Amino acid sequence: MRIAYTADQIRAAEHQLMARLPEGTLMQRAASGLAAACATMLGKVYGSRVTLLVGSGDNGGDALYAGALLARRGARVEAVLAGSRTHEAGLEAFLLAGGREAGAEAIERADLIVDGLVGIGVSGALREPYWGLARAANAAAAPTVAVDVPSGVDASSGRVEGAAVEAALTVTMGARKTGLLVDPGAALAGEVELVDIGLGPYLPDPDVVGLTGADVAALLPRPAAESDKYRRGVVGVVAGSDQYTGAAVLAVGGALLAGAGMVRYAGPGEPVAQVRSRWPEAVITELERPSLDGVGRVQAWVVGPGLGTGDWAREMLAQVLASDVPVLIDADGLTLVARERDLLGRDAPVLVTPHAGELSRLTGAGRDEIEADRLKHARGAAADLGVTVLLKGSTTVVAEPDRPVRVNGTGTAWLATGGTGDVLSGVAGALLAQGLGCYDAGSCAAYLHGLAGRIASSGAPLHAAGVAAAVPAAIRELTGRSASR
């Protein structure tokens, strides 16, 4: 499990630890880890050219001390002193080791650039000269190693305003920062290497958590010898319409291929015909009027994909929400809830799976605002609506009141295509029916869906049905890896 913390949480832990150590100890630990990471990236240290971008804060001090260590190993290290002040002891050590001050032109001749411009305590857009140096580093041929977080990335949210450093590697000190797990910051961090400086005993509960494959494998339900189709979970799907038949096919497929013991599908004639043709194992109820009578008992419902937003769809949603089992609401179901939030007044669990536009309709926040600060808006919606929120996007986040937000690191940009969200709904619905709570079901479904997308894509375009077909392979990869340990 990858855990991360806000800047305030990190600083509070650092202050507690520094009170127990000789002055400068933490910076020396950080600099040693940073220098080792830079040496590994360079391969050959002796004779290499390293350019440090040094700001006013402790990140600049880390960079200078690390530069001194590299200079002692024979690297030609130059420092661009960009701040209004410079860490005096770090600069002294750097110059004594043979390092030299230089102008911004040193960026162009570097084999490696070290970004020590701003640290975790700075938020908002970069100002000059930092802004120009960040852009110059991004345009350079040499890779950049960021200290703690790439300059321009908000450590507590991943938010980026204006220019930011695009790092090949981020060496983060003490603990991961939230902004390294959430886009757009995560996309700028490159690989992330954690340097242990002793903060562990002083860290509070994490701000966000990223599940690993082993974590998901441990959570996934698995059939036992005495299992039957009912014990393995029965999920009901109310999706699709005469206009959007494919949504029903994809949601049912996602549920079946994610391991549900049985899928009961209820819908009108046209999607019924499509589901029956594609998934003969589904138990189908063709509806002439909006009613769940006769559909049969389920352990969880999926409602909304392709359902439409008229009176028929609204009545079906209301009947599903009147049940006493967990309900996943997606797509058109979310549009209906946005119009009539009282529909969510139920005691049983609800998992909503919006993209930013749908969450905008639910909450009234602007879509751009949501994209810029996904954690804030997912948390706010979960608290305000009293539900679990799975906010889809380049970083999918799962928020539930009074729990750390979970962020998903799997996936591929190729998943941004029609119908993949319907598959995700089916996968999550199957996990709900098999007994996982909304928090775990949403987190595991996002992970599986992203992994299935990678398997289906292999770096090329994919389609939603291909993602559904790859779900068993994703489960097999996780559970097989877990069983071999």
Q: Which residues are annotated as a binding site?
A: 58-62, 115, 119-125, 130, 148, 151, 247, 306, 355, 392-396, 421-422
**CA dist 113 to 41, 63, 143, 339, 392, Å?**
11, 10, 6, 52, 34
| Rounded distance between C-alpha atoms, residue 386 and residue 350, angstroms | 8
Rg, C-alpha atoms of the chain: 26
The number of beta carbons lying within 10 Å of the beta carbon of residue 2 is 17
| Rounded distance between C-alpha atoms, residue 392 and residue 374, angstroms | 10
| Known binding-site residue numbers for K(+) | 59, 115, 151
Q: What is the distance in angstroms between the CA of the first residue and the CA of the last residue of the chain? A: 16
| Known binding-site residue numbers for AMP | 392-396, 421
| Rounded distance between C-alpha atoms, residue 254 and residue 328, angstroms | 13
E strands, 15-173, are: 49-54, 76-81, 100-101, 112-116, 144-147, 169-173
- Comparing CA positions, the residue from 387, 374, 279 lying closest to residue 329 is 387
Answer whether 215's CB lies under 8 Å from 206's CB: no
| Known binding-site residue numbers for (6S)-NADPHX | 58-62, 119-125, 130, 148, 247, 306, 355, 422
Tokens of 480: 């097989």
- Comparing CA positions, the residue from 474, 398, 386, 412 lying closest to residue 440 is 398
Beta bridge partners of residue 191, listed in sequence order: 169
